[in-house]
């Protein structure tokens, strides 16, 4: 398991990101408590795996279109200046042209490994608003001068797929900025409810599945009075169940600051993810994938 640099946030912000209380993260206790917590979390993970494996929810997941990575693609060679990179990260765009106001309502998702699916498409204006994040200008900014329908490759829960995409022309760039136009499939209803009273906390975000699928990177939550996050994994034929917790809780006599930290954790797997669903043990739902520059399903 590999852990990347963390960032801090207030207790209030952490609560907004996770329904679990910080007490489960920054609490204090000894080895006996830790062993008991591990057993409880392992039991919950097995329960979640049994619920998902062979379920109608798992079957629906496997036939749907669920992006598992970024659904926007930069112009060939990337953005050339720091100002342009900042504008893209801040969703700061200016429209200096006309976008198509008509287009096909549906498009075909074609998986490289075989299979296809017809899904509803977002229009050029709607896709532009996703890129711009509702912002209408500012400095620095990227200038969009037009768009046309094309295609791009997207990482999904069923492997890489070629999907319809809006190709936005950027002032100063010879190749377009691509934005997937396909609206993701709705999430299936989980076959198991959320856990209450189970140690640890839900995972905040699925960052990426590595090329080849032999590891997953997630955003985990931990507190100021521990030695960082731990993400345990239970692999079955049909699911990858992840359980977030912390290691080495510190007993400081009750003087822990009420502060939480988000940290990226990479978890190695025994075999590639494939079409297995990556599930959070606490919520019983797929770990939310939230691409910063594109649409994602409702993970609530």
Q: What is the DSSP letter of 176?
A: P
Q: What is the pLDDT of residues 263-285, one digit of tens each?
A: 899 999 999 998 899 999 999 99
Q: What integer pLDDT is reported at residue 228 of this predicted model?
A: 79
Which has the higher per-residue pLDDT, 252 or 59? 59
Tokens found for residue 18: 């996770």
Sheet holding 239-246, edge to edge: 229-235, 239-246, 277-280
pTM of the entire structure? 0.81
- Separation between Cα atoms, residue 85 and residue 78, nearest integer Å: 9
Q: Which DSSP string corresponds to 241-300? A: EEEEEESS----SS---SEEEEEEEEEE-SS--TT-EEEETTT-SBPPB--TTS------
- Separation between Cα atoms, residue 64 and residue 82, nearest integer Å: 37
- Separation between Cα atoms, residue 97 and residue 169, nearest integer Å: 10
Q: What is the pLDDT of residues 146-196, one digit of tens each?
A: 999 999 999 898 889 999 999 999 999 999 999 999 999 999 999 999 999
Q: What is the pLDDT of residues 90-134, one digit of tens each?
A: 899 999 999 999 889 999 999 998 999 999 999 999 999 988 876
Per-residue pLDDT band at 52 (split at 50, 70, 90):
very high
Q: Considering the chain, what percentage of its residues have pLDDT values greater than 90?
A: 58
Q: What is the pLDDT of residues 32-49, one digit of tens each?
A: 466 678 899 999 999 999
Nearest alpha-carbon partner for 163 in 298, 294, 273? 294
Sign of CA dihedral 289, 291, 296, 300: positive
Boundaries of every domain in the chain: 2-63+192-280, 72-180
Average pLDDT over the chain, rounded to an integer? 84
């Amino acid at each position: 398991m590999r852990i990347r640099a963390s960032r801090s946030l207030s207790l209030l912000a952490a609560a907004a990101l996770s329904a679990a209380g910080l007490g489960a993260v920054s609490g204090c206790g000894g080895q006996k408590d830790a062993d008991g917590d591990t057993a409880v979390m392992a039991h919950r993970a097995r329960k979640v795996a049994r619920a998902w494996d062979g379920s109608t929810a798992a079957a629906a997941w496997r036939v749907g279109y669920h992006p598992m990575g970024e659904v926007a693609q930069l112009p060939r060679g990337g953005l050339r200046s720091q100002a342009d990179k900042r504008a893209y990260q801040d969703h700061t765009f200016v429209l200096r042209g006309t976008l198509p106001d008509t287009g096909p309502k549906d498009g075909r998702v074609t998986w490289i490994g075989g299979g296809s699916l017809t899904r509803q498409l977002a229009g050029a204006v709607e896709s532009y608003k996703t890129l711009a994040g509702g912002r209408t200008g500012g400095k620095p900014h990227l200038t969009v001068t037009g768009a046309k329908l094309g295609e791009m490759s997207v990482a999904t829960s069923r492997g890489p797929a070629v999907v319809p995409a809006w190709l936005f022309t950027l002032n100063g760039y010879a190749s377009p900025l691509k934005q997937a136009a396909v609206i993701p499939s709705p999430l299936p209803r989980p076959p198991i409810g959320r856990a209450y009273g189970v140690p640890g906390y839900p995972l905040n975000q699925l960052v990426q599945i590595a090329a080849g699928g032999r590891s997953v990177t997630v955003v985990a939550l931990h507190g100021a009075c521990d030695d960082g996050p731990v993400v345990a994994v239970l692999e079955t034929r049909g699911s990858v169940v992840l359980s977030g917790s912390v290691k080495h809780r510190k007993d400081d006599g009750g003087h822990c600051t009420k502060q939480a930290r988000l940290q990226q954790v990479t978890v190695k797997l025994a075999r590639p993810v494939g079409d297995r669903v990556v599930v959070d043990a606490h919520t019983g739902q797929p770990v939310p994938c939230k691409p910063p520059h594109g649409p994602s399903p409702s993970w609530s």
